[in-house]
Amino acid sequence: MHCRAHHLRALSLCRPQLNAGTLGRRVNTPSVLLSMVLTMEGLTACSRRLVSLPIGASSAAPSLSTSPTMQPHFAELTEADTARLDKQRALVATTLKDRYAAVLTRTKLDLPLLQRLLDDGVFAKSQTFELQSLGVVFGDVLATETGLHWMMVTDEYGTDPTLVRGASSLQVNALTMISKRVERAELVDVAVLFTRAAEDAHNITAAAR
């Protein structure tokens, strides 16, 4: 949504501590703020914009950094927020209908459709809104499968939709998971991306208990 920051939107974790797995994370304690950036780029808590490694670099050592962050503020979607997300869903739905006579279901059946759009190069890497629209549809599937839900989060980089679990400050930033990879000219495997994101969404659930 905010173009000035979406290149840096990766993933981080702020308390409680979780297993790193394939995700970047940020652990916030009274004495240290540790940012460990790994492969995935969506799970966030205190900050959602860490520079991350490509999806194929999961075996590389994480980069470490320290930086202050403001606490994120969460809010329910307004009518305008919902309308924007619906506009992005409609864009993808119309494209799928016109090209492949396919429809969205908000289930894992949508993942191959997203993959086909990417494989066919339907949207150029300069089409940020369209690519983030794929992220919205991806996020809808993730929400259906994991029980996360859309909220708006405001931090030092602006205000964006994100997926959260209840009142937890842990987030999955599905919006730019696909777009940033396309913009870096990476190959995107939607099924792999979903599996990893779903695993960490379940970690959010366990951590919030």
Residue that the structure tokens 């809010």 belong to: 75
SS3 assignment, position 160 = strand
In the chain the domains, ranked by start, together with CATH numbers, are 6-208 (1.20.120.1090)
Determine phi and psi for 176, rounding to 5 degrees. Answer: -110, 10
Among the residue ranges 41-50, 53-62, 174-183, the one predicted with the least confidence is 53-62
Give per-residue pLDDT as tens, 93-120: 999 999 999 999 999 999 999 999 999 9
Distance CA 208, CA 171 (A): 11
Contacts of 67 (CB under 8 A, 6+ apart): 33, 35, 47
User: Per residue in 117-168, pLDDT tens?
Assistant: 999 999 999 999 999 999 999 999 999 999 999 999 998 889 999 999 876 6
pTM: 0.68
As a whole number of angstroms, the distance between CA 57 and CA 76 comes to 35
- Could you say which DSSP state residue 39 is in? S
Alpha carbon distance 200, 12 (integer Å): 11
184 pLDDT above the threshold of 70 = yes
Q: Could you give the CA distance from residue 196 to residue 181 in angstroms, rounded to a whole number?
A: 15
| 63 sits in which H/E element | strand 63-65
Average pLDDT over residues 25-37: 32
Q: How far apart are CA 176 and CA 119, in angstroms?
A: 18
Q: Could you give the C-alpha distances from 37 to 12, 40, 48, 62, in angstroms and in order?
A: 7, 8, 11, 5
